[in-house]
Structures are given as C-alpha cells and as structure tokens.
Structure 1
Amino acid sequence: MNGRSEIPATTDLQAANCIDYGKQCSRKGYFISRKAAVLIAVVYICSLVLTGLLVFYCVPRSSSSKLQASDTNLARTFRMRPQVTLPYQKTHSSNRLTTHTIPTHYRIQLVPFIMEDNFTTSGEVWITLKCLEAADNITLNINDIEVQESSVKVTQLHPKKDLSIQVVDHVYNTDAQTYSSILDQQLMPGGQYELYIKFMGHINDHLQGFYRSSYFDPETGQKRWLASTQFSPTDARRAFPCFDEPAFKARFTVSLARSANLSSLSNMPLNFTEPMSEIPGWEWDHYNETVPMSTYLVAFIISDLHSLDATMTNLSISEDSFRFTVWAREFALPQTSYAARIGPRILHYLETYFNIPFPLPKQDMVALPDFGFSAMENWGLITFRESALLYDANISTEVNKERVAEVVSHELAHQWFGNLVTPWWWNDLWLKEGFATFIGYQGLHHVEPSWRNKDQFIRDHLQEVLMLDALESSHPISVPVQHTDQIREIFDRVSYCKGASVIRMMNHFLGEETFKRGLTNYLEVHKFSNARQDDLWQQLTLQAHQDGSLPLHMTVKEIMDTWTLQTGYPVVTVTRNYLNVSAYISQERFLLSSNTITNATWWVPLTFTTQEAPDFNMTQPQLWLENVQSTVVEGLPGNTSWVLFNVHETGFYRVNYDHANWRLLISSFQQLPDVTRAQLLDDSLNLALSGRLEYRIAMDLTSQLITDVEYLPWSAALTALEHLDTMLALTPAYGNFKHIVLALLDKVYNSLQFEDRALDSHLDLLNRAQVLSWACRLDHEFCVWNAKNKYRRWMTQELEERETGPISPNQKEVVYCTAIKHGGADVWNFAWKKYQLSNVGSDKEHLLEALGCSREPWILNRYLSWITSNSSGIRKQDGARVFVTVANNVVGHSLAFNFLRDNWDALQSYYGVAFSSISRMVSAIATYMNTPLQLSQLEKLQDENADKLGTTTQSFKQAIEVVRANVQWMANSYNEVNDWLESYSKSHYL
C-alpha cells in the first residue's frame, strides 16, 4: 500500500495548463490572464538564474573536516545534474530524485509490531535538510508506506527562532516511488530545514525493506518471529521516508521500540534503553548517531537471537572500545564459531591492506533464517543467510566452509569499498561489488593460505563470467541505469565477477604495491563521501606515474574505460610465423555466436612465455595491444617450441593459436602448471563452442586429462563439458560421450576414491566432490553402488535427527542426489523429512537440491508446486534453488518450463521484484533447449508476458540468445563432435 497514490483532482482548465507545461497540479488554483502569465514566467525564470548564481557563489566549497565536507561535495556534484522544476512529475524512464534539498541527519523512531495478526510499523522521522536551490516542495522516496498527512511539518531552522512553513498539499508518484510535500513558499538556498513525518509501514514477507522472518524452536515447537532489514538497493524507502539514493549521505539516529523479551540491533552501539510509557512491557532502545552513510546501509533487527563474542586479536582499535559479535538462533549459535574466529582476523588484515582503520566502534554479523541475498554489508551490522555464515564441522561440507569464509571476507571488504566510499549512483555498482569480490579473496587467502584461493579465483569468477559476457545481450560493467527494475537487474555476475576480474588484471599490470597505494589514496580522498570510477582512475594513475609502473603516455582511465564502458571482452589470436620467429597478434570481440561482426577493441596487456624459457610467475605485461586491432611480436622460438600468452590468465580475455602451436601445447600439456592447464581447457572448449577452433583440437586437448588428477584442470574441464553434456543428453551421441568422460575420470577417481582421508588437502576434498558428482551422474558402477548403499544404511539406522551415519559431510551432495535419482517415493520422502528437521542451513540446501534429482515426473511436479506456497516448508529464499535443480534434471526440464509458463503471474506475485529468483528460473530453462521448436516456445513465453517482465527482462534476452546459439551449435557442430566421439571410442576400445 502506497498511501494516496493518485494525483489530486483538478479543474479541467487547471489540468489543461498542467498538460501544456508537463506538470502535475495541486488542488488549489486561480485564473489569470495570458499577459500576466507571461510576465510571471519571465520573472520566475530570472529568479531561477539569480538563485543559481547565489547558490554557486554562496554555498561553502571547502571544510577542514572530511565529515563536514561531504555535504559540500554532494552539493557541488548535484549542481551538475539538471534541475527538474517539479520532481514529483510521473516518468517511466527515470525515477531519480532531484537535488534542490539534501539530507544531513535523520532521527528515526519505529514501533514495529511483530505478531501473527499485525505486521505493521508505526514510525516517525525528523529529517534535517540543506536547501541547495529554491523550490516550493520537498520530495523524497516512499514505497509501501502510508503518510499521516496531517502530521507533516516543515520548519526552517534558525539559531534564535525556528519558523514554521505551511504544507499545502501532498503528492504521490507510484512509479517514481516518491512523496512530495508542497509548500506555501520557496525554500531558500543555503537554508537549513527540518521535515517531520509520521507514517505507517508494513513488515512484509518479500525479504525486502523491513521484513519478517520466523523459525521454530526445536525444543518447544513454538514459532518465533523476528524482523530485519534489507535496504539495498532501493528499499530503505519501505521502512521510512528518505532520500533513497546512495549519494544522499547523512547521519542517522535510530530508536527502536520492542517487547522486553526481545532485543534489537542497529548500525551503531546501543546508547541507552528506557521503558516505553505507551505500551506496558515494551522498551525503547536508543542508538548512537552514525557516521555519514547512504540509506541502503542502514539496518536494524528485532529478535530473540543469541550472540557469541568473537576473539579480538591484534586489531588497531583497542579491545576495550571495540566489539566483534556474531548472532544466530540459540540452537544454531555453536555453528558461528568458525565465522567468529576468522572475522576479526580478516578485519585486521583489511585495516592493514588499506592502511585505514575500521571507523566504527563495533561489528555485528547476524545469521537470519530468511534472507534474499547471501549477505548484506550494512555498516557495523552485516546480515547473512544462515548457510553463508554458519558452519558445523560434523555436517557442513568443505565447500560450505569455503563459502562462509569467502562471504565473510567479501562483506568485511565492503566496509571500506561501498561503505566508507560509496558509488555516486548504481551505474557504478561494480565499484563496490567488484572490489569486495577481489579484495575479499585477499582476505580469504590471509586466513586460509593453503586453500590456494588466488588460483581458485580463476575458476570461481573469471572463467565463470567469461561465458556470460560472451553474449551479445551482456552489458558493460559500468552501465547506465535509472529505474529501480534496471538497478536490480545489474546485481549479476558482470558486476561481481567481471568487475573483480578486471580489477585483478589491473592489479597485475600496475603491480601490487602501486595498486594498494593508489587504493589507499582513493579511499582517503573520498572517505565518508561518494566517488565515481574516474575518481579511482585518477588516483591510480597518479600513483602509477609516481612509481614508474605505467608509462607516462598511458593513463588508467584510457585503459580501463575500454573494459568498463563497453560490453564483452576480446579473443586474442596468435598466428605464428615459424620462419622468421614472429607472431601476428590480433583482437576481436569474443561472442558465443561467431558470425556477429564488431569493431570493438581494448587496451590488452599481453604477457607470454615460451617452452625454451618458461616463466609462469610474471605479472606485468611485456607489451600492449594499445586499443588497436593487431600488432607483431618478434623474437619467438622456432617451430618445435610452444608459446603461451596471458600467463596465469591475469588478463580478462581468451587466447586462440594457430593449429601448430595448439598441437605443441597439447604435446606438453602434462608439463604445464595446473592453472595453465585449466586455462587451456577452458579456452579451447569455449573457442570450439563459438566456432573459432576445430572441436578435434579442443577434444584432443581434453583427452590429456586421462593422466591428470589435479583439481583446477578438472574443474575447468568439467565446467566447460557441461555444455556438451546438455547438448548431447537426448542424442545418439550421448552413449559415447558418457563412456569417454568416464574413461577420462578413471585415474582421478581411483586416485581419490570415494571416502575422505585424513591427509586430504582442501583441494583434494573439492576435487573428490566434483569427480564423484560426475561419476555418479554418468552411472559409474561403483560410485552409484556406494551412494545408494550409504543412503540405504542411513535410512535403516536408528540415528539422532542431526546425524547422517555412514555419510560423511563431503559425500552428502553426491549420495543424496544419486540415491534419490535411482530411488522411489520412499527415498524421496525420507530426504524431505530430514530437510524439515535439519538445523543446519547448508545441509538444508543440499537436501533441497538433491530432492530435484528424482526421475519421477509426478514427484518433480509436486515439488515445483510447493515453491509458491508459504505452508510447504520451502522458504521463499530457496524457491529458485528448487526450480533450478529440477530444470537441470533432464527429466524435469520440460516440467520446469511448463511450470514457469503456467504460473508466471503467481510467481511474480509470490517472489516480488527484489531479488533474482525469477531471473534465475528463466536462465535455468535454457539449459537443455537446442531445437527451433523450443526456441519458439521460449520466445512466445517472453512475448506473452512482455508487459510484465520487470526485472527478468535481461534474463529473457540472455536465455533466448543462449538457446539460439544452442540451435546453431546443433546445426554446425553436433556432427563434428559425434565423429570425434565415435573415432575416440573405436581407437580406445570403449
């Protein structure tokens, strides 16, 4: 409910005048002559010009205090944006606020009611404002909030006596999600004002804004309610009226009312608690004032969660004045110990890395039963999905442990990149998410150096996003967005993974020390304020020129704009001249469909090594493709030695070679480092997928894995082979494909075996998990037998509910899925019961995914029907997980498509627009589609819902492009792959 969302009624003549001037009108008006109107217009225009001059010359431009300067910096930048006379005019192209007033402080008082028959909030907000340009209105954001209009007051603040300003009307714009107080006089530039609003809000169940969550006490069976916030990117406006854009930084003083048996949390430490006179048994929690921050980082929680004090060691802030605390449900609290152990260590490392102390007096990390994202970096109060923070060594897998460490490090990195310095607008979302992803891996490496996460980054992020960014329907890292739907759509792998990957590339071509000093300078200059990517480029260029790590004729902006402002990435083709020992190097955009021609070029840092003098440790480029299509490299070895470009895959691009060099690399494959083997496998299979390389070369290279037992090459290969697995699944070629992949897996399977071993490394555990998953999927006899046997023993043994008996944590995924795939309803029902009883978030996720492995259509259809039911036991946060696992099942794929088509409106209503749930579903249905009929069905689904795609618009474009490429692949490459599979099978007697 948006309060009064309609525009107030007007007379016909008033309406006509409004149409003429493109404005909306208030109720009150009077008639004037045309001459008088022209005279008034001339005077008004002159007054605007005079006001602009006064603002420009009178508003302060500097301050000795960085915190005080933030308002001035905000004002200076805001003047660059054209002023819209009436900000409450409805528009569908943009719902940005105008900037004639900016907030400097909020005082917020909320009384949330968290009970079965009343999920509402009674609230009051006092907003201190600075006027930058004359206007007769104050416009800010609201959504799902009802303003008590009679309460709205505007006061001009004076040192001697405050003056009241009359509010004459209230205007709402549903599309822009704004409310405007229309005033009886102009606000004066330079003046200080206070806006007071009393309002009613809703504690919703869409996991956005101020929302409700619940869990069951395992001892009493009682349902316990709690309320928490998720404001990023544009949902603070659901909790209180505010200027809900990242550039409107202000200080916040929060007061929360609660029942005495609950507790509350907010960004800052609690100042004091007092009884609430209005409601017996309730109390007010009053929190200290925050530092300047954006609305999307404000957070509060009211719950009965329990806490664990984290051990503080070697922090630059003394233990007496700083607290690091982890929160969870009482019966899940022991699972916080790992996060509590690594969190303070990562925080201290990041203080050292940035050379900037953490600016707040406390840090809370909270595991919530329901959460839309993995986590959210609210300043001083980070919130997590339970599976992203909780870890139980007896139940959780090694993958889960790594995920907890990665997410904790990512969110703590945000405390500097995103919180201390915030992007001006969401087009530079990557400026915080890309950095948090990249810097998070540095923190992760600090606490778990044996995991080789810097090498894993290549598999987890770089190669992962290269596939997505090969689509024409991808988008630039820095992408123009205006509407909230557009903003939500860019929370994707391009912003996170590609952003992190080009930052990693920049780190290598600048050098680690230059990179770190440049980041520190950037953060110091813009701390407690906002920045654009050009501000970062400036500081890095200054440092690079000072250090001599970048030639003076080059700037970071010139280089990086080619990576952040245009879509896609290049494939660098190396064509050797073996007679004069040189190579012709060219670049073109890499696209999944190779028949698309573009003229895009990039500044490409080129590193290379040779068989004669191999060096796999180089970081900085030996030469550049300086935004040109080609160059020539001299001095390469003769025709019996390979050359390899993009050493350690530090650059965000693929490399193709002439056939002779590919053959030389194939012959030396086992002598290359495992990271390089992973790079060659990923490049070759994707080059073949796009038609740029013959499949026989890519498959000959892949066949070299028959003697390989290392995690990184196998991870790259199995990920790339997913495409062949889905394209061939329903074709005659699939039998040969299965036999060949099983033959290639034989050595690594026998090396790892089914059971975990005491001396296994972290990478051994990860490798075993992926190898067993593929082996059982392809019906490896002993793998399937082991999985079914362990599951059956689990079913028949008398165990405590939390125990899995013969199934070790790292076997769970493969055992659960394989047993359910080969079992009946009894096997499925047993897993469902275990899901309902489990107290470990990660284990619940494994069970949900495994339940989608069934080959019984009726079970899968029933399972899908549960994802739109609040009473099914599947939390809203997990609905997309269920859908995707069914869609990735060759039996369930068509069922998933039909369900999406037949329940589109119900899904939109149930999941809302806040998160990527439905977008993930749309992406998943493209998996097995490779026929013209399936393409037409997907296009029809898009067309039938064209007016209500919302945040799935981009996902549909990408899914349709993928299916078109699949259809093209079947026409152009299927026979080539089938011939290779048949030839290999015959020659190896498979």
Structure 2
Amino acid sequence: MCKFTNSTSSSTNIQDREVLPTNVKPLHYDLTLEPIFENFKFNGEETIEFDVNEETNYITLNSLEIDIHEAKINDVKIENFEFNEEKQIVTFRFEDYLKQGAKAYLYLKFTGELNDKMAGFYRASYQEDGKKKYMATTQMEPTDCRRAFPSYDEPSAKAKFTISLIANKDLVCISNMNEKETNLIGDDKKKVVFNTTPLLSTYLVAFIVGDLKYIENNDYDVPIRVYATDQASANLGTYAANIAAKSLKFFDSKFDIKYPLPKMDLIAVSKNFTSGAMENMGAVTFRVVDLLLDPENSDVNVKQRVTEVVIHELAHQWFGDLVTMDFWDGLWLNEGFATWMSWYACNEFYPDWKVWESYVSDSLQHALTLDALRSSHPIEVPVKRADEINQIFDAISYSKGSSLLKMISKWLGEEVFIKGVSNYLKTHAWGNTQTLNLWKALSEVSGKDVVKVMDIWTKNIGFPVVKVEEQDDSIKVTQNRFLATGDVKPEEDKVIYPVFLGLKTSQGLDESLVLDERSKTFKLPTNDDFFKINGDQSGIYRTAYESSRWQKLGKAGVDGKLSVEDRVGLVADAGSLASSGFIQTSSLLDLIKSWSNESNYVVWDEILTRIGSIKAALIFEDEEIKDALKLFTRDLISSKLNEIGWSFNESDSFANQQLKSSLFSSAVSSEDPKAVEFSKNAFKKFVNGDKLAIHPNLRATIFNCNAKFGNEETFNQLFNIYKNPQSIEEKIAALRSFGAFTDSKILDKVTGLLLQTDIVKQQDIYIPMQGLRSHKLGIEKLWSWITTNWDEVYKLLPPGLSMLGSVVTLTTSGFTKQEQKKQVEEFFKSKNTKGYDQGLAQSLDIIEAKSKWAQRDTKTIKEWLSVNGYN
C-alpha cells in the first residue's frame, strides 16, 4: 500500500518510479495490425525510430501478453531478448553498440491476444439479427498500450504514429488520423493506411475495426462522425454530434487554439467498455449509453450526462492530448480540468440547466465525501507502479480536482483563469507538463501567487472543517482536519490550508477574507445578525456553526437570503457534520424539516441524499426507526409533491422535470401509497404493451418499485425487458432493478447472473450491485456472493484493471456494524490486495464512519422522530 504524508512538499520521488530507461527516445512508430476474429488474436509488426541518447547495447520496452516472433535492430537480427512479466517489460540486447546521437530502428513482428479484458487491443461483442458479432477496439489508458504493441508506454514518451490496419474489405477501420489510402489484399481483405499523427502519448493511440455505420455533422471546420454497430443506433448519435460541433467551436474560441486534427470521430463501443468514455485524440470511444441518445425518449439526467461526457472528452483534446501530464501523478490535471470545463461549457450551452447549482451537490460533495476518509489520497498523488494508477481514477482526481479549479477560477475570475489556461496550452503545445506549469501560467496572468496557495491544496490529503464562534460584532474562525470518523489525530492535523472564507452578509459577498492560520478573528460589517461562511459554496471545506446559527440560517433560507448554492451547501455541511459527530443529527433534521416548501430540485436532491445517508447508517437497526424515517420523508415531501405532481408535459422546464423526478423517486422509496400504486399500475400497462405508460423520467423508479414489491413473475417481466429493451437506457434501468428485489430466492438468482458474462457484461456487473446495496438483505447477499466467488471474480476482473476495486467497495461498504467490518478485514487478510487496496481501505473507513454514527445518534434520531410525531 502506498503511504501518503501530510506534507506541503511533494511526496513523489521521481527516482522511485518504475519507468523505462532513457538511453533511447522513441520518435516514430510505423505500426500495422490485423485483428483475427476467428481465434481472437491479432498480428502485428512495427518499426520504431529512436534517438540514441547514450551509447547502449540494449532497448527496453513495455510489453504485456505479446508473443514476439522476430526482432531486428537496424536490419540486424536480435537473438537475445527477455521478458519480465511482473514489470511488464521486454529487453532486447545486441552485440554492436548504438552510438550516442545516432538514429536506431527497431523492427518487431508479433502476435497479441484480442482479449476480453476491455484493455489494450480487445474484442467487444454484440448481438445482431440473432447472431453474435465482434468489433475490435482499444482502451490504452492508463498502461495498456503495451497489450497492443511493444512500446514506450509512458505519457512523457510522446512520438508520432503511422498506423495501418488490415481487415476484411467490408469492415470499417478507424484510427486517430484520417485515411491516407486503402489497398486491396487479395479478394476479401484491405489495408487501410492512416496519415501520420502529431506527437501523442501511447495512452491516446486508438484503432477500431468493425461493421460500423455512421452519421456525419458538418457544422464545424472538420467532419464529425458518430459510429455505431447499426444505422438506427448511429442515428441516435445526432445529438452528441451537435454537442461536439458546439464544443469544438467553443474551445477553439476560449483557448484561442484551433482543434489540430482533420476529423473527429465519436465511436460507440458495444457492451464492452470499462469507463464512460476515452479521449483518444481524434477518435473518442464511448459506452453506448454515454453517446447515443433519443432526446424524445430519454430521462433528463441521461441527456445531461451525455452532454457532459461529450464535452469532457473534447476538452481533453486540448487539455490532456495537446498538452499532457508528464506522469500519472498529474492525472488530476487532465481529469479535473476536463470535468470543470464540461460544467463551464454546459452552462454556456444550456443556461437554464443552472449547472453550477448542481455542481455543489454533485462534484463538490463527491469530492468531500471521499476526501473525508482517512484512506483518501492527495489530488497530486504519488504513483510508482502501473498497478497503482487505475486506483486514482476516482472522485479525488475528477471531482476534487474540478472543485479546486472552480475555487481558483472564482478567486482569479473566470476570464483571467481561461486566459491563463490558454497561455499554458500555447506554451506547452505537443509537450508534457507538471502541475506547477499551470500554476505559473495562472500566476503570470493574474499577478497572484497561485503556486504557493495551490501547492498546499494539491499535495495534501483531506480538507478542513472551519469552526465559527460568535463574539459580539465579530467571528472567530478556526480550521482543523475533517474526518468522517471524527477521530483526527494530532499528527494528521498539521496542514494549514489557505481557506477562502467568502463571508456573505446583507451587504453582499466579501471574497477577500482568507483564513491562512489556525485561527483568526474577523469583524462583521453589519449588525443585522445575518452571515454565512463559504458564500455560494465554492470553498473546499465544511463549516461548523454554533447551534443557534443553524436555526438562524435555516430561517434565512426560507426568507430568501441564501442562494441555491448556499442552501445546498448548508444541508450538505449539516449532513456531513452530523454523520461525523460535530453536531447532533437532530440539528440536521430540524434544518431539513424547516425547508419543506423548498422549490429548487438541487436543494431537494441534497436534502433527500442526506436522509438517504441516515437510512444507510441505520440499515441494520430495527424496523421501527426505519419506518419512522419513511414516514418523515413522506410528510416532508408531501406538500411540494402534491403541488407539482409527477405528470410531464412539453412546457416543463429542465428544473421542473428534475424536481418531479426527484420527489417521485423519494415518494416511492419511502413507500407513499399513491406513488407505489401508480408505479404498479403503470408497470402493468407497460408490460402489457402500452410503452407510453411509463415516462422516461420515471422509468428507473417504477422498475425499482415493482422489483421491491415483486415476485418471480415480476422478475421474469423485468428480465424480458432487459433482454429485449426499446433503448439502452431501458436495459440499464431493468438491470439495476434486479438488485431491488427483497425475496431471498430471487436475489440468489440475481447474484447468480453476475458472473454470467453472456447475460451481464463485465462492464455492467456493478449495475445490479447498486440495487442490491440499497437494502439489508441485498447487502448480505452481496457479501455472501463475493466471498463465495472470490477466485472467479478475481479472474474475471484482474487487479490491473479498475473494476475490481469498485466491486470490492460495492460488496463491502454497505455494512454498518463493527462485527461486519471485522468479517471484511478477516476475509481480505489472506488475500493479495495489490491493485484494489485503496478501494478496500476506503470501504472499511465508510463502515467505521457509519458504525460510529449509528452508535452515537440512533437514540437521538429515534427521540426526534417520536417528538415530531413520526412513530
């Protein structure tokens, strides 16, 4: 396990990294590949041109699951080469030394596995006309290019690539660049040669071969195509293509740098895709659900998701592809920026979505939730080995990274921030950088010491809680490390963060105040007894007030003195502080109850999320308290739900659709009789052929409801929907609902499907798990499944891939008791946790936090519910 320290200096020692020797430097790869679908292999040959940096008689490359048949250096055969499987390298040794300053040409002929691991050059399967078909595609990030061809598989080893693909003449071949020429080979094959790429890191190289169809958008300077396995599916790419055209124009303008390639392809990878999307330059690959969209038959959340994913990947074409981090400890710089930029551009395209309000309940809370665990990691995380890298593709790199950039952009001003980013991109185009390079660019354009401030935020784990003490006409604010378990040790509380206080009073928002010491006192500018810290909630910290202030801020929210972001942040802070023991949970419940007339869906989502957190902590407590919480929830939402209902029409705004969906979902989960009855009737009509009986915005909730109260017949109905869906969204909603059943035998059937990859694809294994983790029996069934099938799970999802950590977290973090935590610890005690140790540690922290919360506040919650009539 990699250990992190609370230090303001970088804890990454470059000499400790497992990287390739620098005796040579790759300049150009001339690469030809041919996928063989009959035996799931691929043939390859390449010539790599090198600069020789120092006299040497060997070259070492990354290589994994590749059989090398022939090797030559400058046309001289190499007899001596050896593999190191653990380090994933192959070393070629030769008799004659390469001279410093010379060019060298390494020729390799090899065979690889067209694997089913969603890594490297792999196969993705799908059904068409009752037949199983395959496409070959790539997923190189972070370190799987070595599965496709021997290479310098490190982000700093940028080179140019001339790629050729050999395939059946009827198949479509795609790569990063546009096609240069196509030559027929015999009667049924062709060789497609693509133009040479600009300088790219290996993780951004892409090639796809399959029976694909496309639609084309020409609203931008280069053609934009969306590819899918059939024309009907490709037609659903129209929305994404339109967003892509808007995004490329937007980024051209904002960065003042033209998109540099001659085309942009967006490819839907059918069924086998480990992440949401991958930003390969000029050839972005996606999960089907994150690219193809029927705007008339889609949930508003899905539309927003597709929009943000497309923008995110296209932002990477500049930030990540054009300019790339020099090593994986800078991953956050890629992902955090692309996440921030997707919100920024989305706000430009759809101002009525008010995405910066959602940001507070989405990105910021994801960041704070994970970073409140002792097992979190710094934004700029030290990584040394390939198996550590996948574990940092998490809410710290994405959400905390983007939240930090949001905080900086507010501090500097958005236009100044974007100008600094533009300067950074121009200065380092086609090169590699470190985080410091961006901070320097922002410092130069703003005149502020961004380097000093941001080093503290990026190189340390966690964030502070700011305690506010009221003193006549002033406030004393004190910062300490915040942990979800509420047990910070002195040695964990040494970092002093530069905290932007954002003091909001009736005079407005003062963003000049900075808490850069342990404690400071600030004079309040007014006497009207209204103030709030972290105005508009752009700071990365929690705020702990005195109990009387919580009541006053609750009233201020009702009186309209707080922005949406303020109200969301207040609920989130109260929820987090209650769960960690800083305040009693009754204070959170008082605040929530006082806002039953709230009209904003983002605030409601946060309220309902915090109630959900209480339910999750008490899931193994007696039924009485859980029933009382359901009653409280029904009462809380009843007024607003009766006002707006759950019928949708064309005049509904995005916000109204979101609010109706959110409140209806809460009504069903808290077993509101009318909502449950509606769900059952709508589902009955739906399975009897009335496909308009369920609105897309309610689909997932209605499927879950019928599963929860359903029997074997219901399972068969949902399974039939899963096997024969009208859309990919419908398929996923059905799959997720499998976990919501409460019948033990049905749940055994559900867990039995998890390893049947012909029914539940590897990429989707987590979806029914999400449903299972939502209730007590499901949590127990998940644990039984993972412990019984561990060897098979480990084989299906090897630790070098990212999904094993997610599965471990899903199958363990639902627990809430100390004895359950001990079971988890005992089971994994004898296991090799390399590659998922971070996820396991975080899961144990989550169980610990819930256990302490339940032990501390169950009685208080019961009393509050009873006093307020919910019993």
Scaled by the length of structure 2, the TM-score of the pair is 0.95
Using the TM superposition, give the Cα deviation of residue 447 of structure 1 relative to its aligned residue in structure 2, in angstroms.
Answer: 2.1
Asked if the contact 1:311–1:340 (Cα under 8 Å) also holds between the matched residues in 2, the reply is: no
1:152 aligns with 2:71: yes
Q: 1:471 pairs with 352, 363, 373, which one? A: 373
Using the TM superposition, give the Cα deviation of residue 385 of structure 1 relative to its aligned residue in structure 2, in angstroms.
Answer: 0.2
Aligned to 1:660: 548
Q: 1:250 pairs with 154, 159, 178, which one? A: 159
Aligned-partner SS, 1:868: coil
Aligned to 1:613: 507
Matches within 5 A, 1:150-549: 151-155=70-74, 167-217=78-128, 220-277=129-186, 280-312=187-219, 315=220, 317=221, 322-330=222-230, 331-369=232-270, 370-545=272-447
Q: 1:829 pairs with 691, 716, 719, which one? A: 716
Q: Deviations over 1:808-856 (max 9, x none)?
A: 1111011111112112111111111111112522221111111211111
Using the TM superposition, give the Cα deviation of residue 81 of structure 1 relative to its aligned residue in structure 2, in angstroms.
Answer: 6.3
Once residues 524 and 676 of structure 2 are traced to their aligned partners in structure 1, the CA distance between those partners, rounded to angstroms, is: 54
Aligned to 1:564: 458
1:697 aligns with 2:599: no
Using the TM superposition, give the Cα deviation of residue 168 of structure 1 relative to its aligned residue in structure 2, in angstroms.
Answer: 4.7
Moved more, 966-975 or 170-179: 966-975
5+ residue gaps, structure 2: 1-12
Aligned to 2:574: 684
Asked if the contact 1:121–1:202 (Cα under 8 Å) also holds between the matched residues in 2, the reply is: yes
Asked if the contact 2:579–2:850 (Cα under 8 Å) also holds between the matched residues in 1, the reply is: no
Matches within 5 A, 1:784-795: 784-795=676-687
Aligned-partner SS, 1:609: strand
Amino acid at match of 2:199: P
Amino acid at match of 1:661: R
Using the TM superposition, give the Cα deviation of residue 891 of structure 1 relative to its aligned residue in structure 2, in angstroms.
Answer: 2.3
Asked if the contact 1:165–1:184 (Cα under 8 Å) also holds between the matched residues in 2, the reply is: no
Aligned-partner SS, 1:179: strand
Once residues 606 and 193 of structure 2 are traced to their aligned partners in structure 1, the CA distance between those partners, rounded to angstroms, is: 52
Once residues 360 and 659 of structure 1 are traced to their aligned partners in structure 2, the CA distance between those partners, rounded to angstroms, is: 58
Aligned-partner SS, 1:973: helix
Q: Deviations over 1:867-926 (max 9, x none)?
A: 21233x211110121223212233211000110111111011112235432222222234
Using the TM superposition, give the Cα deviation of residue 142 of structure 1 relative to its aligned residue in structure 2, in angstroms.
Answer: 0.5
1:887 aligns with 2:773: yes
Asked if the contact 1:437–1:496 (Cα under 8 Å) also holds between the matched residues in 2, the reply is: yes
Shift >6 Å, 4+ stretches: none
Matches within 5 A, 1:550-949: 550=448, 555-578=449-472, 581-597=473-489, 598-610=493-505, 612-615=506-509, 621-626=511-516, 628-638=517-527, 641-670=529-558, 671=560, 672-729=562-619, 730-731=621-622, 732-797=624-689, 804-838=691-725, 840-871=727-758, 873-945=759-831, 947=832, 949=833
Q: Deviations over 1:80-126 (max 9, x none)?
A: 966xxxxxxxxxx85321211110000001111113xx111111010
1:950 aligns with 2:851: no
Q: Deviations over 1:1-52 (max 9, x none)?
A: xxxxxxxxxxxxxxxxxxxxxxxxxxxxxxxxxxxxxxxxxxxxxxxxxxxx
Once residues 139 and 341 of structure 1 are traced to their aligned partners in structure 2, the CA distance between those partners, rounded to angstroms, is: 44
Using the TM superposition, give the Cα deviation of residue 165 of structure 1 relative to its aligned residue in structure 2, in angstroms.
Answer: 5.2
Aligned to 2:19: 96
Amino acid at match of 2:93: I
Aligned-partner SS, 1:138: strand
Once residues 786 and 227 of structure 1 are traced to their aligned partners in structure 2, the CA distance between those partners, rounded to angstroms, is: 45
Q: Deviations over 1:404-457 (max 9, x none)?
A: 101000000000110000000001100100000001112222222211112211
Once residues 77 and 214 of structure 2 are traced to their aligned partners in structure 1, the CA distance between those partners, rounded to angstroms, is: 48
Once residues 233 and 772 of structure 2 are traced to their aligned partners in structure 1, the CA distance between those partners, rounded to angstroms, is: 29
Amino acid at match of 1:154: I
Aligned-partner SS, 1:600: coil
5+ residue gaps, structure 1: 1-79, 83-92, 156-163
Using the TM superposition, give the Cα deviation of residue 928 of structure 1 relative to its aligned residue in structure 2, in angstroms.
Answer: 3.7
Aligned to 1:72: none
Once residues 839 and 239 of structure 1 are traced to their aligned partners in structure 2, the CA distance between those partners, rounded to angstroms, is: 35
Amino acid at match of 1:633: F
Asked if the contact 2:507–2:526 (Cα under 8 Å) also holds between the matched residues in 1, the reply is: no
Asked if the contact 2:42–2:113 (Cα under 8 Å) also holds between the matched residues in 1, the reply is: yes
Asked if the contact 2:737–2:768 (Cα under 8 Å) also holds between the matched residues in 1, the reply is: no
Aligned-partner SS, 2:318: coil
Aligned to 1:23: none
Asked if the contact 1:143–1:237 (Cα under 8 Å) also holds between the matched residues in 2, the reply is: yes
Q: Deviations over 1:289-312 (max 9, x none)?
A: 000000000001001110100141
Once residues 394 and 944 of structure 1 are traced to their aligned partners in structure 2, the CA distance between those partners, rounded to angstroms, is: 52
Q: Deviations over 1:390-413 (max 9, x none)?
A: 111343211111111010000000
Q: Deviations over 1:362-403 (max 9, x none)?
A: 000011112111000000000000000011134321111111
Aligned to 1:10: none
Amino acid at match of 2:841: K
The structure with higher relative contact order (CA 8 Å, sep 6+) is 2
Amino acid at match of 1:193: A
Once residues 701 and 254 of structure 2 are traced to their aligned partners in structure 1, the CA distance between those partners, rounded to angstroms, is: 39
Query: Number of aligned pairs?
Result: 850
Moved more, 129-138 or 224-233: 129-138
Using the TM superposition, give the Cα deviation of residue 748 of structure 1 relative to its aligned residue in structure 2, in angstroms.
Answer: 2.0
Using the TM superposition, give the Cα deviation of residue 728 of structure 1 relative to its aligned residue in structure 2, in angstroms.
Answer: 2.4
Root mean square deviation, CA, Å: 1.6
Once residues 198 and 17 of structure 2 are traced to their aligned partners in structure 1, the CA distance between those partners, rounded to angstroms, is: 29
Using the TM superposition, give the Cα deviation of residue 323 of structure 1 relative to its aligned residue in structure 2, in angstroms.
Answer: 1.2
Amino acid at match of 1:952: Y
Asked if the contact 1:140–1:179 (Cα under 8 Å) also holds between the matched residues in 2, the reply is: yes
Using the TM superposition, give the Cα deviation of residue 134 of structure 1 relative to its aligned residue in structure 2, in angstroms.
Answer: 2.5
Asked if the contact 1:726–1:927 (Cα under 8 Å) also holds between the matched residues in 2, the reply is: no
Using the TM superposition, give the Cα deviation of residue 614 of structure 1 relative to its aligned residue in structure 2, in angstroms.
Answer: 3.9
Aligned to 1:68: none
Using the TM superposition, give the Cα deviation of residue 696 of structure 1 relative to its aligned residue in structure 2, in angstroms.
Answer: 2.6
Using the TM superposition, give the Cα deviation of residue 231 of structure 1 relative to its aligned residue in structure 2, in angstroms.
Answer: 0.5
Once residues 445 and 354 of structure 2 are traced to their aligned partners in structure 1, the CA distance between those partners, rounded to angstroms, is: 29
Aligned to 2:30: 107
Asked if the contact 2:225–2:265 (Cα under 8 Å) also holds between the matched residues in 1, the reply is: yes
Using the TM superposition, give the Cα deviation of residue 577 of structure 1 relative to its aligned residue in structure 2, in angstroms.
Answer: 0.4
Aligned-partner SS, 1:429: helix
Using the TM superposition, give the Cα deviation of residue 985 of structure 1 relative to its aligned residue in structure 2, in angstroms.
Answer: 1.8
Once residues 979 and 636 of structure 1 are traced to their aligned partners in structure 2, the CA distance between those partners, rounded to angstroms, is: 39
Once residues 983 and 944 of structure 1 are traced to their aligned partners in structure 2, the CA distance between those partners, rounded to angstroms, is: 48
Looking at CA atoms only, which structure, 1 or 2, has the larger radius of gyration? 1
Change in Cα spacing, 1:677 to 1:465, as seen in structure 2 (3 Å) is: same
Scaled by the length of structure 1, the TM-score of the pair is 0.84
Amino acid at match of 1:307: Y
